[in-house]
Amino acid sequence: MSTSLSPLLAPMLSSAAMRAVCDDQETLQHMLDFEAALARAEAATGVIPASAAEPIAKACKADGFDLADLAEAATHSGNLAIPLVKALTAKVAQSDAEAARYVHWGATSQDVIDTAAMLGLRAGIDALLGDIDRAVTGFARLARQHRSTAMVARTWLQHALPMPFGLKLAEYAAALHRAKRRLQRMRQDTLALQFGGAAGTLAALGDKGLVVAEQLAQNLELPLPDAPWHTHRDRIAEAASVLAILSGTCGKIARDVSLMMQTDVAEAFEPAGDGRGGSSTMPHKRNPVAAATMAPGLAATICAAQVGDHERSAGPWHAEWPTLPMLQLVTSGALAAIVDIAEGLEVDAARMRVNLDATHGLMMAEAVTFALAEKIGKNDAHHLIEAASKKAVAGKQHLRDVLKADAKVTAHLSADRIEKLFEPMAYQGVAQALIDRLLASLDEK
């Protein structure tokens, strides 16, 4: 289990796939993958003897190292790479003393740690992409199913206008799809090998630094940047930002659903089942909102770590180590919960219709105002409908009935016309076209 989250809380706040990615043993393996790839790259380019590569690579198995011992040694060295390289050298020496001389040749601790972070991010992105696809598919299906289901659009938590529930669902799908595209762009353009040696010049490798770097990048299947980026942390900060935005998207969807689950609203519900909260008054799933609350602070810590010192910082870099995996974990937990919602949301369309009538027609005041404005002008129409609305509230009447009894209104709008103006789905503007546009945006280009 990664030390970034308590073993007690991790299953609730993260996905199993991301816990595997961020597991300490896996993180250690990513560091060892760098060392194995480095040895092979340097052997292939003639920097170290060809015979040294395989003994080093064979020793680069995480299960051959004691995590507790490495952790304790790191408290004295200042980072995990230093004791790991020492332990790896000793392990290689057990089988080939000559090969042990070339462990970690020309590299520095930051090369190991940063490249391992890139490998962890790549695996984490792949885990997230699968869940995003499921969530997008689920919400798109629901959007098509409910494109004619009328519900209340709420602004400032108050009833505003009618809208098709399918529009809200299509917006969820599109927002998650945009998050997918960000992750894909980051995987392609932001992740990169870090290999610079002691000060970013690869001086220990002489004139073969770039040749080794090219081979190393190829071995690890990571892009080779124009130069080492050890002192510029924008790559890590960008990753944190993309993860935080995804968490926020998940949190927004979850907040909407939790509000729709309120007893007095009761329009939609998270999927029920064994082990889940069975009452609409006690929604059990809080991971998306928790992640949306935690993620910005974690991302802020990583962004603050950009302000480093010269060619290696004395502190800010270290703050990234526990923070980035924690951000990956909580983001995965938020998304996993959203997948559950997308694939199992329970919708009460009848209740949505009841809620549309809760304000006794006041929600349709704008529709009537604009219909009347075509006859008498917007200003006069506004005053007439405003007065009628106040009368409806005072008399606890339906606005439609007040309007039908008002000669100033019926002089321009027939009773049948007024009746039709109070049909919610007759006043949805271009909502159906927007649903089509949003669903079309999900198609991969």
Encoding tokens for residue 418?
């007024």
Considering the candidates 51, 148, 279, 414, report the single residue annotated as catalytic.
279
Buried/exposed code over 134-158 (b: 16+ C-beta within 10 A; e: otherwise): bbbbbbbebbeebbebbbbbbeeee
- For the chain, give the number of residues: 445
Decide: 119 and 126 in contact? Cβ < 8 Å.
no
d(CA 18, CA 129): 11
Encoding tokens for residue 140?
């798109």
Q: What angle do CA 183, 189, 193 make, to 5 degrees?
A: 110
Ramachandran assignment for 6, one of left (phi > 0), alpha (psi -120 to 50 degrees), beta (any other) = beta
d(CA 338, CA 254): 7
The number of C-alpha atoms within 13 Å of 135 and in the hemisphere containing its C-beta is: 29
Q: Give yes or no: 247 in active site.
A: no
Decide: 361 and 400 in contact? Cβ < 8 Å.
yes
The number of C-alpha atoms within 13 Å of 25 and in the hemisphere containing its C-beta is: 9
Mode of pairing for the β-strands spanning 346-347 and 268-269: antiparallel
**What's the maximum distance between 2 C-alpha atoms anywhere in the chain?**
103
Q: Give yes or no: 312 in active site.
A: yes
Decide: 200 and 228 in contact? Cβ < 8 Å.
yes
Burial of 377 (0-12, 13-18, 19+ CB in 10 A): exposed
Three-state DSSP class for 313?
A: coil
d(CA 247, CA 293): 9
Decide: 1 and 18 in contact? Cβ < 8 Å.
no
Other beta carbons less than 10 A from residue 30's beta carbon:
22
Alpha helices in 305-364 (DSSP H): 316-344, 349-356
Alpha helices in 2-155 (DSSP H): 10-13, 16-22, 24-44, 53-59, 67-77, 81-95, 97-100, 109-145
Considering the candidates 101, 286, 312, 353, report the single residue annotated as catalytic.
312
Three-state DSSP class for 162?
A: strand
Q: What angle do CA 97, 102, 104 make, to 5 degrees?
A: 125
Write out the catalytic residue numbers: 279, 312
